[in-house]
Structure 1
Amino acid sequence: MATQEHVVREFGTVEENELRLDVEKSEQIIDALNQDLADVYVLYHQVKKHHWNVEGAEFRDLHLFLGEAAEHLEEAADEIAERAQALGGTPIAGPVEQAEHASVEYEGQEIYDIRTSLEHDLGVYGDIIESTRDHIELAANLGDHATAQILREVLVQTEEDAHHVEHYLAGDTLVMD
């Protein structure tokens, strides 16, 4: 067991970075990235909950899709966190802190029918899409084109998964009531 205990960086502080982005600009971008990270984790946990609890005639397809969507969210979280760290910041990591920093809300522990669950997911996807677009613009305006590009790539996958959810919610189905 290590006997040395030393805080390397306090959460909320931003250090100089090798990317040569001004600390004041980095602070703004890191704040935005930490909100994005918190939002993605809220949706990740919600989608994962739906993946575990989906039932019905379309179980298999939805179970697989929701598992893949959760993987996409986890990959996005990793990209966002690594960028915040590269900019000299500390990615928000704890579930309590993530819930506090998120601009979206987790639906709670209750289990809903799959249509209601997907409607909740689609609402959160939409909020994240809007926020990500704003943060792309913020990063680009501050001259951080790499962060803007990373967020664009996250946005493409987020929009694609939201579009799939939208298709699952369409009225046309082979399943009879």
Structure 2
Amino acid sequence: MSTQKSVRQQADTVEENPIRLDKEKAEQVIDALNTDLANLYVIYHQLKKHHWNVEGAEFRDLHLFLEEAYEHAEERADIIAERAQAIGGVPVSGPSNLEERATVEFEGEDVYDVRTSLSNDLEIYAETIERMREHVQLAGDLGDYGSEEVLRETLVIIEDDAHHFHHYLEDDTLVTEEAVHE
């Protein structure tokens, strides 16, 4: 444990930033970034859970896909956190703070069948994508083109992952009902 007793910057505060983004504008963008950061960590934990628990004929493909998707969520969360810090904010952190800040909910600890799990994932992605689109617009409207770009890049990646979830949920499969029950 650290012996340092002084706080360098309190959570939910905004300091002047070296890129000269107006403090009031930065506050609005940091609030949006922290929401997206929290949502991505909810996604990360849910996907990690599904990665651990996936079973069935498509186990290997889904196991690998879920790993790739949760890595995307974690990588993008890190980039968003660094952007929030760069414009004078404190990235939201810690399980209870992330849960409180997120606008999406973790499905809980119960283990569901694969189709339900993936449907839950697609729903949490859709909600996150909608919110992030609003935040892209906000950052652009406030003249924070760097944050706008970070969010746009993130949006492309998570939309692509959502598209893959949608494909996994399609009815067409090579696995027959008979093969599943044998």
TM class, shorter-length: over 0.9
What amino acid is aligned across from residue 108 of structure 1 in structure 2? G
- In 1, distance between residues paired with 2:39 and 2:55? 26
What amino acid is aligned across from residue 168 of structure 1 in structure 2? Y
- In 2, distance between residues paired with 1:73 and 1:10? 26
- In 2, distance between residues paired with 1:2 and 1:100? 26
Report % sequence identity: 62
Identify unmatched segments of 5+ residues in structure 1. none
Q: Look up the SS of the partner of 1:21 in the other structure.
A: coil
Deviation at 1:125, TM superposition (A): 0.4
Deviation at 1:60, TM superposition (A): 0.1
Number of residue pairs matched? 177
**Are the structure 2 counterparts of residues 133 and 8 from structure 1 closer, same or farther at C-alpha, using a change threshold of 3 Å?**
same
- In 2, distance between residues paired with 1:33 and 1:165? 24
Matched residue, 2:128 = 128
Matched residue, 1:64 = 64
TM-score normalised over the length of structure 2: 0.96
Root-mean-square deviation over aligned CA pairs = 0.8
Structure 1 segments, 4+ long, off by >4 Å, are none
- In 2, distance between residues paired with 1:41 and 1:68? 14
Matched residue, 1:51 = 51
Matched residue, 1:12 = 12
- In 1, distance between residues paired with 2:2 and 2:153? 39
What amino acid is aligned across from residue 5 of structure 1 in structure 2? K
TM-score normalised over the length of structure 1: 0.98
Deviation at 1:3, TM superposition (A): 3.2
Identify unmatched segments of 5+ residues in structure 2. 178-182
Deviation at 1:2, TM superposition (A): 5.0
- In 2, distance between residues paired with 1:146 and 1:13? 20
**Are the structure 2 counterparts of residues 61 and 143 from structure 1 closer, same or farther at C-alpha, using a change threshold of 3 Å?**
same
Matched residue, 1:25 = 25
